[in-house]
Amino acid sequence: MSNYHIKHLEEYYQVYRKSVRNPEAFWEEIAEEHFLWRKKWDNVLSWDFKKPEIKWFEGAKLNITENCIDRHLATRGDKTAILFEPNDPNEEAQHITYKELYKRVNKLANVLKDNGIKKGDRVCIYLPMIPELAVSLLACARIGAIHSVVFAGFSSTALATRINDSDCKLVITSDGSYRGKKTIDLKGIVDEALDDCSGVNTVLVVNRINSEISMKEGRDQWLQPLLDKASESLTATVMDAEDPLFILYTSGSTGTPKGMVHTTGGYMVYSAYTFKNVFQYKEDDIYWCTADIGWITGHSYIVYGPLANGATTVMFEGVPSYPDYGRFWDIVEKHKITQFYTAPTAIRALAKEGVEHVEKHDLSSLKVLGTVGEPINEEAWHWYDDNIGKKNSPIVDTWWQTETGGIMITPIPFSTPTKPTYATLPFIGIQPALMDEKGKEIKGNQTDGRLCIKFPWPSIARTIWGNHQRYKDTYFSAYENMYFTGDGALRDEVGYYRITGRVDDVIIVSGHNLGTAPIEDAINEHPAVSESAIVGFPHDVKGNALYGYVILKETGESRNHDNLRKEINQIITEQIGPIAKLDKIQFTNGLPKTRSGKIMRRILRKIASKDTSNLGDTSTLLNPECVQDIMDNVL
């Protein structure tokens, strides 16, 4: 038997060594023992980072939905696969069993087929967090159509760009969506986008909010009547392991979005194996990831990873602040959540509202807590540990990317001792390297550099849709024979990794590579500070100096700003050193963020440098209104 479920640190090291000594043999064993293949592979792995070309399980045949649904029917048919918690706490939660999921996926897959969708066609999914969203991904996968989910918070322009980039023929959307007290006119956004998308000939519309919308004759159809007529059975299309499963756009902070292409076999194996271990998933657990399926986290750790393990996965339609800031904890209590996976930005937002919202709820069902998406600052880590986990649930700080498909650096709970702000150790099979600016690997511990990966893992994205050259330039050209992550990291004395932020954001002061995260971390330690972002700006004398944008807590808003500036710099001096002191500190009410919660430092950098003639693409900003305010008050 392979080590599918790692239970202690010794075992982690033993399995890790095995996985890097002979990766092919290791992954072959995992793939063979834990998944359903129509035909086994001819070759486990072939790769060439120079081309770049990576193939896992070549020649194997499978359908991922048979792994996520069909094979559970005999043993877990009546188990809840998807537990849907609606926006309105008074609306009843839905328990969709594996048997029901099977029928719903087949019905939608049949509707797609009836509308001319074939293997390899691209389908755009623009839906809120309702069960139809997960069902749509699976229905596409069932017939071999390539899904491209666009987060339903994106604008019509962003949607149109993504639809056109991958030539989607069909769009699945809804009349609208609920978001706290508000409703959003999704279909209106789709209509606007489609004015610029001549390739889309069908729009299937889910009725979620019962609103009056306009339906374009010959193009738009309500989905429910079509489902009512569709058959509940359908033979899954047999796919090659290397056939594309989905495209997912990642915007990053600059440039046009990149359509990362993930293929079927390797992605399935890696997302399932990481899910099992990183969340120490057991049969009766109720697992909840608060991400939206519009992001990679939702693809891998709401849909594919959990379902491939026969898990119960929660989908939450609403927002953490509705009807009040205790909603997350209300849901944890109500459904007896065992694993809870969220983003640092959500933790900070909830911490700001105070612990009284937490204390009302019984969180004793929780066993493992997770974070993803950006570095978690020390204060937020402790708040999470103290108030949510009650120091009794290990926190897995999981580092990974849309491009990596699955979690890459992470503690394994109950095995790896955690350390605040550290993602800790590479996951099984992952071979990280830290590189210096000259392209040399930095060996040994207690060092920092640019984070690369030396060897392929099964769920690495295979290309950028329609632009293989850009894939090569972005990830495989900076360092020879390495995948470059774009992140900076440091490695401590025991080999734990701490991600320090995007390398583009790194600021060189006095020849030191300062990641943004450690400095922001220090600033956030100040009791009056809620959140901060730092950037570099040109300085006559020093060449480069640091500019800080700081959001104060309500309790700190009345403090003297000059005193606060001194205190903040004092903390930085103590924690990092005087080289990291900020030249300017601007207090602000908001920071420009992408819709996945990442600070857009590019904009802050331009403002600090007084170079605001062209701020670049701001269409993916969550809160564009704060930009003007920051510009008006620049120092």
**432 makes contact with ligand WTA (CB under 6 A):** no
With CB under 6 A, what is the number of residues at the site for ligand WTA?
21
562 is written with which tokens? 């000059």
| Cβ nearer to ligand WTA, comparing 189 with 409 | 409
Query: DSSP string spanning 371-419?
Result: E-SSPPPHHHHHHIIIIISTT-S-EEE-B--GGG-S--B-PPTTTSPP-
295 is written with which tokens? 């992001």
| Cβ nearer to ligand WTA, comparing 257 with 326 | 257
Q: Hey, which residues between 316 and 335 contact ligand WTA (CB under 6 A)?
A: none
Q: Where are the alpha helices (DSSP H) in 5-126?
A: 9-21, 23-34, 64-68, 73-76, 98-114
| Helix or strand run (H / E) with residue 138 | helix 131-143
| Cβ nearer to ligand WTA, comparing 416 with 586 | 416
| Cβ nearer to ligand WTA, comparing 172 with 499 | 499
**296 makes contact with ligand WTA (CB under 6 A):** yes
For the bound state, the minimum distance from the C-beta of residue 247 to ligand WTA, rounded and expressed in Å, comes to 14
| Stretch of 202-210, 276-284, 290-298, 523-531 lying at the interface with ligand WTA (CB under 6 A) | 290-298
**448 makes contact with ligand WTA (CB under 6 A):** no
For the bound state, the minimum distance from the C-beta of residue 582 to ligand WTA, rounded and expressed in Å, comes to 22
Q: Hey, which residues between 356 and 415 contact ligand WTA (CB under 6 A)?
A: 372-375, 397-402
51 residue type, one letter: K
For the bound state, the minimum distance from the C-beta of residue 482 to ligand WTA, rounded and expressed in Å, comes to 15
Residue reference for tokens 């009284």: 356
Spell out, one character per residue from 470 to 499, where the chain touches ligand WTA: x when CB under 6 A holds, - when not: ---------------xxx-----------x
**274 makes contact with ligand WTA (CB under 6 A):** no
- Contact by Cβ (8 Å): 64, 238: no
623 residue type, one letter: N
Counting Cα atoms < 13 Å in the Cβ hemisphere of 116 gives: 10
**Contacts made by residues 247-252, CB under 8 angstroms, sequence distance 24+:** 247/122, 247/146, 247/147, 247/148, 247/166, 247/465, 248/148, 248/149, 248/295, 248/296, 248/299, 248/402, 249/148, 249/150, 249/162, 249/165, 250/296, 250/401, 250/402, 250/403, 251/594, 251/620, 252/486
For the bound state, the minimum distance from the C-beta of residue 499 to ligand WTA, rounded and expressed in Å, comes to 4
| Cβ nearer to ligand WTA, comparing 206 with 380 | 380
Q: Hey, which residues between 596 and 625 contact ligand WTA (CB under 6 A)?
A: 596
Q: Hey, which residues between 230 and 259 contact ligand WTA (CB under 6 A)?
A: 250
| Stretch of 61-69, 120-128, 289-297, 572-580 lying at the interface with ligand WTA (CB under 6 A) | 289-297
Rounded distance between C-alpha atoms, residue 261 and residue 10, angstroms: 35
| Cβ nearer to ligand WTA, comparing 296 with 529 | 296
| Cβ nearer to ligand WTA, comparing 15 with 423 | 423
For the bound state, the minimum distance from the C-beta of residue 617 to ligand WTA, rounded and expressed in Å, comes to 17
Residue 107's closest CA among 230, 21, 217, 6?
Answer: 230
223 is written with which tokens? 């989905």
Extract the runs of DSSP E, i.e. beta strands, from 277-330.
286-289, 312-316
107 is written with which tokens? 């019905």
Q: Hey, which residues between 555 and 584 contact ligand WTA (CB under 6 A)?
A: none
**297 makes contact with ligand WTA (CB under 6 A):** yes
| Cβ nearer to ligand WTA, comparing 258 with 367 | 258
Interaction site with ligand WTA (CB under 6 A): 250, 295-297, 372-375, 397-402, 423, 485-487, 499, 502, 596
